[in-house]
Amino acid sequence: MENTSQRTNAHDAHAPLDVLILAAGLGTRMRSRTAKVLHKLGGLPLIVHVCRAAAALSPRHIYVVVGHQAEEVEATVRRELGDEVRFVLQKEQRGTGDAVMAARAELENADATLLVLSGDVPLIRPETLGALIHQHRTHRGRGAACTLLSVRLDDPTGYGRIVRDEEGRFVRIIEQRDASPEERQIKEVNAGIYCFETRQLFRALEKVQPTNAQGEYYLTDVPSILRAEGEDVSVYVHADAREVAGINTRAELAEFERLLRMRTLRRLMLEGVTIIDPVNTYIGPDVQIARDTIIYPNVHIEGRTTIGEGCTIYPGARIADSLIGNEVTIKDHSIIIEAEIEDGCSIGPFAHLRMGAHLAAGAAVGNFVEVKKSRLGRKTKAMHLAYLGDATIGERTNIGAGTITCNYDGVRKHETIIEDEVKIGSDTMLVAPVRVGARAVTGAGSVVIRDVPPDTLVAGVPATVKKHLRSEEEAPAAQSSSERDAVGRDA
């Protein structure tokens, strides 16, 4: 592991730090119509992982070189980092050296330390980059012109190799395709992560020629050019090869998915979460879970999800971008997306909560119940076979099996309001817009097309008032003539 104690503030007494991320390539080896850096790892595009690591260094500017699917890459980065990031267009992909050249106008007079990263190195940690920058700036007391990050690999296939002289000093980087059989034996490889002083970098880049097997302008030629000019080139040897590995194929993407997932699961377990079977549990890197929550196998938790203490999440649940309180039980095969669930709720099995579903404390939603853009008040229950959409439901209300808020008239969506302590009978159709007053009861199979006054029993198709549930003295508010008319007593 790198020595994090060496880490230094990127700004102290040195040239300012800029970051340049190369993300213009198609990534041919992915065999995809989608640019490589847009492929997702832990639910986030590769380029976003790299941008986050860069942003954690608080550099002066972050530049991203875009080319293939430039618009999509730009939009993806902007969504994550806003307008902090600047974009440079590499019109034709003529190699990593050419990609850096595309940023020349922006950078060559910047007098900065430039950290160059590839958009396909998603597991890189800011601490490692900080240590690289530190070595670069303190090399021989005056700093180096270039510092590159290397790792030793048992199988170095595909990577540029680091050639050193007899004294172990850096000589050059040789790409796999251009390497001799002897050079291919070298196990120390270039990670594609470098620090440069900008003026020296662009002076050397001018001398790079595309005289190699790929006919490309290689950034990897720059260190040896600088060395030939008598500049200091330093190598930062990093111990964790997996952290700096680049993704080039889908097989590598899957391997990294596993690594990132294990990193997340280990973090959560150390924070006090019980994960019964980590190998079969899928939790994204941004998920937060409080202690004593138990996660059963085959659970997927994604996006920006936060889960409180003492929850139990049973097999097959998928939860994304949701806020879940303490002591919540989520039973098997429930789907919860963009929902908020307060303390002590019970969900599922086989429930579907989506887009703005909000359950107040102690509410319960059971088998085959779908909730969309609806709020269920405290201790309200909908235990079987219901659709609740665009509804606001009060406290301690019971929604019977088979209830449907008929919220869509084919053109527009309409709201249903159900007040406190209502009993919606089985198979009630609530034709929105409609309001059901407090303590009202609907009979089984009712089709409610007009507002139901409080404290009444309605039934039928269409539903009409069959009975007042409290006397006039007890509940005068429920007896106004307008409310009686609302359910069409004469029907």
Site of interaction with ligand UD1 (CB under 6 A) = 22-25, 65, 67, 90, 93-96, 98-99, 118-120, 159-160, 173, 175, 189-192, 218-220, 246, 248
Give Cα 84 to chain centroid, integer Å: 19
Nearest of 9, 13, 34 to residue 23 by alpha carbon: 34
CB closer to ligand UD1, 234 vs 346: 234
Taking the complex as a whole, the smallest distance from the CB of residue 256 to ligand UD1 amounts, in Å, to 13
25 contact choice in Mg ion, ligand UD1, none (CB below 5 to 8 Å, kind-dependent): ligand UD1
- 3-state SS class at 305: coil
* Distance of closest approach, residue 157 Cβ to Mg ion, in angstroms: 13
Which of residues 248 and 326 has its CB atom nearest to Mg ion in the complex?
248
Site track 113-142 with Mg ion (rule: CB under 5 A), x = hit: -------x----------------------
What does the longest C-alpha to C-alpha distance in the chain come to?
Answer: 103
* Phi, psi of 269, rounded to the nearest 5 degrees: -65, -40
Torsion over CA of 279, 280, 283 and 284, rounded to 10 degrees? 70
- Residue environment code for 295-319, b if the CB has 16+ CB neighbours within 10 A, otherwise e: bbebbebbeebbbbbbbbbbbbbbb
24 binds, among Mg ion, ligand UD1, none (CB under 5 to 8 A by kind): ligand UD1
Contacts of 115 (CB under 8 A, 6+ apart): 17, 18, 19, 20, 54, 57, 59, 129, 132, 133, 193, 194, 195
- Rounded distance between C-alpha atoms, residue 429 and residue 211, angstroms: 75
Smallest distance from ligand UD1 to CB 120, Å: 4
Residue 143 Cβ, how far from ligand UD1 at the closest point, in Å? 23
Annotation marks residue 14 as catalytic: no
Minimum gap (Å) between residue 16 Cβ and ligand UD1: 23
Residue type, 424: I
- By beta-carbon proximity to ligand UD1, the closer residue of 149 and 369 is 149
Contacts to Mg ion from residues 383-402, by CB under 5 A: none
377 binds Mg ion (CB under 5 A): no
Piece of the chain touching Mg ion by CB under 5 A; list 62-70, 124-132, 240-248, 267-275: 240-248
Nearest approach, Cβ of residue 242 and ligand UD1 (Å): 12
Q: Between helices 70-81 and 46-55, what is the axis angle to 10°?
A: 40
| Residue numbers 313-372 binding Mg ion by CB under 5 A | none
Residue nearest to Mg ion according to CB distances in the complex: 246
Q: In whole angstroms, give the CA distance from residue 409 to residue 391.
A: 15
Judged by beta carbon distances under 5 to 8 A according to partner kind, the member of Mg ion, ligand UD1, none in contact with residue 123 is none
Q: Please tell me the distance from the alpha carbon of residue 64 to that of residue 119, in angstroms, as a whole number.
A: 9
Indicate which of ligand UD1, Mg ion, none lies near residue 175 (CB less than 5 to 8 Å, by partner kind).
ligand UD1
If the CB atoms of residues 186 and 336 are measured against ligand UD1, the closer one turns out to be 186
Beta carbons of 150 and 237 less than 8 angstroms apart: yes
Total residues binding Mg ion (CB under 5 A): 3
For residue 167, give Cα distances in angstroms to 164, 182, 273.
Answer: 8, 18, 50
Which residue lies nearest ligand UD1, judged by its C-beta? 160
Q: Which partner, Mg ion, ligand UD1, none, binds residue 394 by CB below 5 to 8 Å per kind?
A: none
Minimal distance in Å, beta carbon 95 to ligand UD1? 5
Q: How far is the CB of 262 from ligand UD1 (least distance, A)?
A: 22
Pairwise CA distance, residues 50 & 48, whole Å: 5
Residue 253: other Cβ atoms inside 10 A: 18
27 forms part of the interface with Mg ion (CB under 5 A): no
Chain centroid to CA 77: 12
Distance of CA 414 to the CA centre of its chain: 32
Q: Find out whether 267 and 283 touch, Cβ atoms under 8 Å.
A: no
| Site map (CB under 5 A) of Mg ion, residues 65-104, x = contact | ----------------------------------------
Strands 44-45 and 318-320, how do they pair? unpaired
Q: Cα separation of 119 and 134, whole Å?
A: 22
Comparing CB distances to Mg ion, the nearer of 246 and 362 is 246
Nearer to Mg ion, 248 or 274 (CB): 248
Q: Are 357 and 320 in contact (CB under 8 A)?
A: no
Strands 364-372 and 346-347: parallel
Q: Three-class SS of residue 491? A: coil
Q: Which lies closer to ligand UD1 via its Cβ, residue 120 or residue 338? A: 120
We find the least distance from the C-beta atom of residue 229 to ligand UD1, in angstroms, to be: 20
**Given 333, 384, 414, 468, the catalytic residue:** 384
Whichever of 118 and 200 has its CB closer to ligand UD1, that residue is 118
Q: Is 246 in the site for Mg ion (CB under 5 A)?
A: yes
Q: Is the peptide bond before 476 cis (omega within 30 degrees of 0)?
A: no
Choose among Mg ion, ligand UD1, none what residue 190 binds, the Cβ cut-off being 5 to 8 Å by kind: ligand UD1
Where does 56-88 have alpha helices with state H? 70-81
Q: Which is nearer to Mg ion, 97 or 246 (CB)?
A: 246
Catalogue the active-site residues: 384
Residues contributing to the site for Mg ion (CB under 5 A): 120, 246, 248
